[in-house]
Structure 1
Amino acid sequence: MEGFGHKRRNADGTGLASLVDFLLANARVVLGVSGAAVLALATLAVKRLIDRATSPPDDDEDVKAKQKSLEESWQELSLTQTVPKPQLTSRRGKPEEPLLSPVKSGTTQEPEDIVPSPEMPPPELKTRLCLTLQEKLLAHYQDRVSASEARENLGKRLSEDICAELQNCLKKYSKLPFGNAFLSGDLCDGLVGGENLEVNLVLPLVLEPDLWAPIPGEQTVVNDPRIWMIKRTGLEYFLRGSSPWDRFIVGGYLSSSAIADALWKVLETSINWLAIGSALECVVRPVVAPKELKLEVRHEQIHLDITLCPMTEAGDKTLLAASLEQPVENFWQQSFYAMEVSRLKNLDARDAGVRQCCLHLLKAVFENHPSWRKLTSGHLIHVLLHLSETESDWSEAALADRFRQALEELLRYLEESSLPCYFDSRINLLEHLSLEEIDEIGFTLYAALTEPDLWNGLGL
């Protein structure tokens, strides 16, 4: 057994020596000249330690001699600390500074003399990194999501002034006899989230009840409960031309597309937006967005988007001119916005809930992502309304749970490619998105939810 142990130590020593020789032979290639020198000195000292540890015990004189040699080996090892280290290059291409400034021999450095490196996060950031999701959400809501009162007031004032100017201009054109325009949308209802300020400028059509008949969505050619059509009636008694809106009839129905085209021509050619913007100390520019008519307002303090919405009513239903990309040009789309906001605010008032706070945070997340911004504030409100049917605790302490749960519910709806309207379950609010768009939103949202830190996964 004793001989086997001795052979084993020799074999181990030989194997380690071979490994050391191999490392030394290739160190210059991997580490360069200066790095190889450091490794050589350190390895030589370690190799001597290994040789002495694996060699058989000797007499006292040999032991004393080897102890002296051992001290020399440690001294050799300590020499590696005096070799200057190669400077590391940071991502910005500059040499990184040492965390602590060098201390002269024989002196002491007081703690207050230690200056942290610029690369080190400030103390408040370190504290922030230790916060829970609940605390991060509340802090983010206070710091970034909740728009300042000054920004909101400026946005409302500009919107009201532009609305009044547009109203005065449209009165000069009898071809578009809109009623009194008014403002609607998140800015007006205190539901601003993130940096975007948006408002709807509603242009009501006053239709004669004896001349126009709304057709429910189930009876339209698309058989969609959200899409309506408005048919011209009584032509045998009231000839065409009896209504100022008769000029927009296409195939016997009131054409939302024809009205939008006429409105765009007025906006583009008949209104002096340069003069209006100069009077309001901003820049106003009409644009055709992918699916709607908009006015872009650029002020030195805010950016504001105003969406123009021709609207009519059918009983208790609010119908907006359908998007410009609809395949049929005489569609009208039912809007649930007023019902959504009213229901959300009533629920919060009833239990002092944080649904509106949760909506603000969700909007801030979704408006900063190229795929997620395809989902509107309306989609998020309906998710929260559905969630309110199953969850009763909407206190501030439950904000993080409800926030995470709302995202998980939205992901489930995306997986099913269906988000039922809270007020009419027959309506799928994801119907306007293609399957590719739904898959892209769902995949990226799933990836964010599976991040170890949900906060980082959502890009906040």
Structure 2
Amino acid sequence: MYYNGRRRGQDGVGAVLDFLLANARLVIGVGGAAILGIATLAVKRIIERAGRRAEESKPMPDSWEELSLVSSSPKLLKKGIEEVVMKKIAVATRKADLSQPLPAALALESRPAERVCVSAERVCVSAERVCVSAPRVCVTLQERLQQYYATRVCVPPPVTMRAQRRALEVATEIQAFLRTKHPHMPLGELRLAGSLLDDLQVITADHTSLLVHLQVEESLWSAVRGEDTFLSHPQLFLIRRENLEYFPRGRSYWDHFLVGGYLSARLVAEQLAKSVTEAMNWPSLSGSLGCEVRPVLGADGDASIKLEVRPSDEEEEEPEEEEERLFVRVLPTLCIGDESVCAGPTHTHTHGLNAHTHTHAPCEHAWFYSLYPKEAGLLASLDQSDGGARRKCLKTLKAVCRTNPTLRPLSGRHLGNLLLHLSDKATDWSEEAFSGRFQEAIEELIGYLEIGRLPSYFKPAVNLLQEFSEDDIDEMGFMLYCAVSQPEILLI
């Protein structure tokens, strides 16, 4: 409750803010409510100044000092992010009608379990028993990160092993089916790939990739880099048919999937998807594996195969296996010389391309060169050489982004490259430096968001942020900026 000397308009604004805070958890989640609570005192003071007479109020530029509640390190302020923060506060100020009483609908008291008490000393979210204290913190950031990593980030080894086993069983069945259904299709061994095998999954083991290796004649096919074509993209490849004058069409099985003299990744993926999803006996397969397996039709709007594997009804009765769903994406892959490319999802092909290139049909027929094996391998080797915590930091950042709706667009691809760049600058990656590297990663990411560019570590010409809109970058930058001085808000 405000003191009695304040005007009715100010009481109305304060009540509106208290109501919004009380219901913030229902609208924007616990993490968003915590951030809103931390910034509330600053916003209240700015709105109060806006409601005073001109001769009593301070100029608006002085209001920036109030943001010291959010950031105590002025040297970390970035001009671009600063403008975003001020823009949001200005919008909130304009929308507040300081001369109108509180609407009756907003005067309803919220339930006690959701009441948020805001004071100059603390922000307390009683529903979740979360208390962020301005003058002191209950535990150090290092301890908080260690606790978060142990309780929220890590996937229990039995869960990971069970997911790997199920994925391998599915791979074996699909391989046997393809060899029976298409005996003349030259296919190699199917193998699993991705973060599930590299111990880089967080929260739950829920996805993996199954690579279907196509055996192509190197004398008849060659890989053409995207930089050397009209695609102008270093992660795209075209697979060109060679020696047509000596070896006409029909000499290679894959000649059936030619488009303009190039092997079409989309046509190959569509053929495999049609064969697997339409011809396999899914009830029989589920019965033999002891778990339910079914295709996810129209997954992500591309032609690849995506399977959902989940426990059977009998297994779901066991508490430890509840909600253990695994998604397996089947990707055609081929190797020509030293290049290994896959027919990934179409939207993956266009990451980083300009808006004009998105509409070009040839992109659908191009093959994608994934840098993930190199990125994950380098992080693992760096940690092995100095006993570092790079991968631990990566998994923590992935969990933070996965549980935060604003940061969810940031994937392991973005965060892995972020840490590789940071490894070139920071030398101490010991356990004792875990919290310091975590904070530095946040600051580095803010800097990349400010300039709108995060170069791929192995392909600097690839801008990993080009797939995001300006609004996406602004929202992510604002969230991370709020966490610069209070990184604990990301661990709620």
With normalisation by structure 2, the TM-score equals 0.65
> Which residue type is aligned with residue 341 of structure 2?
L
Contact 1:194-1:363 within 8 A present in 2 as well: no
1:271 aligns with one of 280, 289, 292? 280
Aligned to 1:153: 161
1:92 has 2:124 as partner: no
How far, CA to CA, are the matches of 1:120 and 1:428 in structure 2?
Answer: 41
How far, CA to CA, are the matches of 2:131 and 2:404 in structure 1?
Answer: 27
Contact 2:266-2:365 within 8 A present in 1 as well: yes
Contact 2:190-2:212 within 8 A present in 1 as well: yes
Aligned to 2:479: 447
Aligned to 1:310: 332
Aligned to 2:414: 379
SS at structure 2 position matched to 1:374: coil
Contact 2:212-2:331 within 8 A present in 1 as well: yes
How far, CA to CA, are the matches of 1:186 and 1:151 in structure 2?
Answer: 14
Contact 1:194-1:360 within 8 A present in 2 as well: no
How far, CA to CA, are the matches of 1:375 and 1:168 in structure 2?
Answer: 37
1:136-177 C-alpha deviation (Å, 9 max, x unpaired) = 110011112111111011101101100101111111232643
Moved over 4 A (4+): 119-126
How far, CA to CA, are the matches of 2:461 and 2:129 in structure 1?
Answer: 53
> Which residue type is aligned with residue 299 of structure 2?
A
Instruction: Kindly report which structure 2 residues correspond to 1:403-414, keeping only aligned pairs within 5 A, or say none.
Output: 403-414=438-449
How far, CA to CA, are the matches of 1:200 and 1:130 in structure 2?
Answer: 42
Contact 1:220-1:227 within 8 A present in 2 as well: no
Contact 1:318-1:336 within 8 A present in 2 as well: no
Unaligned runs of 5+ in 2: 5-107, 116-125, 351-359
How far, CA to CA, are the matches of 1:370 and 1:258 in structure 2?
Answer: 35
1:427-457 C-alpha deviation (Å, 9 max, x unpaired) = 22334x1434xx314423432431453222x
Structure 1 residues 90, 167: CA separation in 2 closer, same or farther (over 3 Å shift)? same
Aligned-residue sequence identity (percent) comes to 36
Aligned to 2:138: 130
Contact 2:148-2:491 within 8 A present in 1 as well: no
Structure 1 residues 370, 284: CA separation in 2 closer, same or farther (over 3 Å shift)? farther
Contact 1:217-1:224 within 8 A present in 2 as well: yes
Pairwise CA distance, 1:266 = 1.5
Aligned length: 347
How far, CA to CA, are the matches of 1:122 and 1:409 in structure 2?
Answer: 31
Instruction: Kindly report which structure 2 residues correspond to 1:83-232, keeping only aligned pairs within 5 A, or say none.
Output: 91-92=110-111, 130-174=138-182, 176-232=185-241
With normalisation by structure 1, the TM-score equals 0.69
How far, CA to CA, are the matches of 1:362 and 1:93 in structure 2?
Answer: 33
2:431 aligns with one of 393, 396, 404? 396
Unaligned runs of 5+ in 1: 1-18, 20-88, 97-118
1:358-390 C-alpha deviation (Å, 9 max, x unpaired) = 111111111223453333212211111110001
Pick 1 or 2: higher relative contact order, CA cutoff 8 A, min separation 6: 2
How far, CA to CA, are the matches of 2:305 and 2:137 in structure 1?
Answer: 43
How far, CA to CA, are the matches of 1:249 and 1:123 in structure 2?
Answer: 59
